[in-house]
Amino acid sequence: MNVLVLQDYAELSKKGAMIIAEQVNNKKDSILGLATGSTPLGVYKELAQMYEQGKIDFSKVITFNLDEYYGLPENHPQSYRYYMEENFWSKVNLQDENKHIPPSITDNIELACKEYDELIESHGGIDLQILGIGPNGHIGFNEPGKELYAKTHLAKLTQNTIEANSRFFPDKESVPKNAITMGMGSIMKSKKILLLANGNGKAEIIRKTIKGQITTNVPASMLQLHPNVTVLLDEKAASKL
């Protein structure tokens, strides 16, 4: 793992955007794996600025989001589709047909998951996957437990994740209990991975992810097995390394 420690969140966001821009500038039709949450917001802002300044062109880029809450209406302000539209998609020249995110409601979950994996595969897999990390070590919604899943699937959110994410909802009860998430397979098959973490709240899980044993109890620790992972941390998230 290539671990880079940046001074603060602003620097981390700039560096993250630079890495993504380099990928897109080298391969115009890059397949990007995208994450939501607080962590990548700064990166999306930087990328939108770079686009405004004519430094990056997303017209041929294809994106696949990691996950979507299950059961929320599509235009719900807490849905990840809404987040992506609000914070990134609407700010750059991505083509509508090139933006992909798992469905928030579907008649056939199994089929929808299978089709999502097949679509990723049909494009040759993900070139660069952006990841945040849950305080419990989840990536996407691959939650800690006895086993992990390779494929896109309906995941049950842990209590820890429901609590962490309740900050965006009126109360804990309103947080969806399930999400459709890419499995560990699509993530691990990405050619490159960019893991972002900032703040003291991520310091302990970053230590376990990078220096701890590889275990399904810390799904992100699996990334130790990937040949091309860059971890961008601010000083606070790196404070326990």
Tell me the catalytic residues: 67, 136, 138, 143
- Cα–Cα separations (whole angstroms), residue 17 to 47, 130, 154, 161: 6, 10, 30, 26
CA distance 213 to 222: 9
138 lines the binding site for ligand F6R (CB under 6 A): yes
175 lines the binding site for ligand F6R (CB under 6 A): no
Q: Which of residues 13, 30, 36, 63 is near ligand F6R by CB under 6 A?
A: 36
Question: Segment contacting ligand F6R (CB under 6 A): 9-17, 33-41, 84-92, 233-241?
Answer: 33-41
Minimum Å gap between C-beta 62 and ligand F6R is 17
215 lines the binding site for ligand F6R (CB under 6 A): no
Burial level of 4, CB count in 10 A (0-12/13-18/19+)?
A: middle
Smaller CB separation from ligand F6R, 61 or 175: 175
Query: Encoding tokens for residue 83?
Result: 């987040």
Q: Which of residues 6, 101, 139, 218 is near ligand F6R by CB under 6 A?
A: 139
Minimum Å gap between C-beta 186 and ligand F6R is 12
Question: Segment contacting ligand F6R (CB under 6 A): 30-38, 44-52, 104-112, 203-211?
Answer: 30-38
Treating both helix axes as pointing N-terminal to C-terminal, what angle do 9-26 and 41-52 enclose, rounded to 10 degrees? Answer: 50
Chain residues 40-99 in contact with ligand F6R, contact rule CB under 6 A: 66-67
Our measurement of the distance from residue 5's CA atom to the centroid of its chain's CA atoms, rounded to an integer in Å, reads: 19
CA distance 44 to 84: 9
Cβ proximity of 241 and 12 under 8 Å:
no
Smaller CB separation from ligand F6R, 36 or 98: 36
Minimum Å gap between C-beta 98 and ligand F6R is 18
209 lines the binding site for ligand F6R (CB under 6 A): no
Smaller CB separation from ligand F6R, 31 or 35: 35
Using alpha carbons only, what angle is made at residue 143 by residues 139 and 149, rounded to the nearest 5 degrees? 85
Tell me which residue has its CB nearest to ligand F6R: 132
Question: Segment contacting ligand F6R (CB under 6 A): 5-13, 103-111, 137-145, 209-217?
Answer: 137-145
Cβ proximity of 44 and 130 under 8 Å:
no
33 lines the binding site for ligand F6R (CB under 6 A): no
Burial 189-223 (b: 16+ CB within 10 A, else e): ebbbbbbbbbeeebbebbebbbebeeebebbbbbb
Burial level of 187, CB count in 10 A (0-12/13-18/19+)?
A: buried
Minimum Å gap between C-beta 111 and ligand F6R is 22
Residues contributing to the site for ligand F6R (CB under 6 A)? 35-39, 66-67, 132-134, 138-140
